[in-house]
Structure 1
Amino acid sequence: MIRPALLLDAAAITEIYNEGIQSRQATFETSLYTVEDRRKWIKNHEDHYPILVAVKDELVVGWACVHPYRSRNCYRGVGEFSIYIREGYKGMGIGKHLLNSLVNTCAELGYWKLVSRIFDFNHASRALCRACGFREVGVYEKHGKLDGKWVDCIIVEKLIDDNLD
């Protein structure tokens, strides 16, 4: 089941995000988050920038969200997304269902494009994006350092055709 995130999901979202931080596969973040950090984040997230969770057997097993791409009003229809799946639940189709749900939610909100950056070595996330209709449009070389090593990021995008008129 996919649904909007609630404040009571903060602990699960924190656990899943901290797994992503510790794996060094998906984010340049290196400091772990607290439940209170994520509670504030959920509470202050604007409706135009959805946060969705995937729930299986009453356990939050993944989450996805959209952030502003840029602050200028002309980019209000472009969102930058993130997606994280709990360890032990990857490869089960949850990510695909969650990302497609996020795209559909964003389409309803009037978005015309979603974008993200993926570590070049994160083959699972790149495959997920391809499976959901995203295309790789470029590479940010040496976009940041993680544990003292430069990391390249693949830029992905998906146009939401219904909103391109």
Structure 2
Amino acid sequence: MDIRRMHKEDWPFVAQIYQEGMDTGVATFEKEVPDYKVWDANHLQVGRLVATNGGLVMGWAALSPVSGRCVYGGVAEVSVYVGSRFTKMGVGKALMESLILESEKAGFWTLQSGIFPENKGSIALHKKVGFRYIGKRERIGKRNNLWIDNLLFERRSTLVGMD
């Protein structure tokens, strides 16, 4: 498995994996995969990664800004998705470890994630790579007309923002 920077040409594969995540009902509040232009505008340029094997995209990770305010310039939200055929193969962990390194090189001191309580695999992955549970946003959004909680996890860099 190789982890490399995501290219625009990867979008059809990234979008397919994103749709698979949406289909689980526990990955995102989003209902439709956006077109590339919208997705591109909502994600940072740093930290866009894909895991590949023989040219096949197995999963992806990306960072989104949490705020436009400069004080939050070193804080980003994590997205990580693994294709349904590639779960439990270490793809998510490899992506997250690479994403953490990329984010620290770019000066990010905090990574955060909002995870549905039912998404046990994502919770386990985040804990495995050093994220800690910091709280719950109750009834933060609706999915299928039902209010859903979101668990907050964060990882504070031990290299960036220590001064």
SS in 2 for 1:101: helix
Q: Is the aligned partner of 1:131 residue 2:132?
A: no
8 Å contact kept, 1:117–1:154: yes
- Alpha-carbon distance between aligned partners in 1 of 2:42 and 2:28, rounded to the nearest angstrom: 21
1:25 CA displacement = 1.3
Q: Is the aligned partner of 1:24 residue 2:22?
A: no
Q: Is the aligned partner of 1:121 residue 2:122?
A: no
Q: Which of the residues 36, 39, 48 maps onto 1:38?
A: 36
4+ runs deviating over 6 angstroms: none
CA deviation digits over 1:92-139, x for unaligned, max 9? Answer: 111001001000000000110000100011000000000000000000
**Number of equivalences:** 161
Percent identity, aligned pairs only? 37
1:160 CA displacement = 0.7
1:43 CA displacement = 7.8
CA deviation digits over 1:37-58, x for unaligned, max 9? Answer: 12563488553x4211110221
Q: Which runs of 5+ in 1 are unaligned?
A: none
**Aligned match of 2:83:** 86
- Alpha-carbon distance between aligned partners in 2 of 1:91 and 1:57, rounded to the nearest angstrom: 18
With structure 1 as the length reference, what TM-score do the two structures score?
Answer: 0.92
RMSD, matched Cα: 1.5
CA deviation digits over 1:70-91, x for unaligned, max 9? Answer: 1100100001111000011011
- Alpha-carbon distance between aligned partners in 1 of 2:43 and 2:114, rounded to the nearest angstrom: 21
Q: Which runs of 5+ in 2 are unaligned?
A: none
8 Å contact kept, 2:5–2:48: yes
- Alpha-carbon distance between aligned partners in 1 of 2:97 and 2:122, rounded to the nearest angstrom: 14
With structure 2 as the length reference, what TM-score do the two structures score?
Answer: 0.93
Distance 1:46 1:32, change over 3 A: closer
- Alpha-carbon distance between aligned partners in 1 of 2:124 and 2:152, rounded to the nearest angstrom: 13
- Alpha-carbon distance between aligned partners in 2 of 1:31 and 1:44, rounded to the nearest angstrom: 15
**Aligned match of 2:137:** 140
8 Å contact kept, 1:5–1:51: yes
- Alpha-carbon distance between aligned partners in 1 of 2:42 and 2:113, rounded to the nearest angstrom: 21
- Alpha-carbon distance between aligned partners in 2 of 1:31 and 1:17, rounded to the nearest angstrom: 9
SS in 2 for 1:139: strand
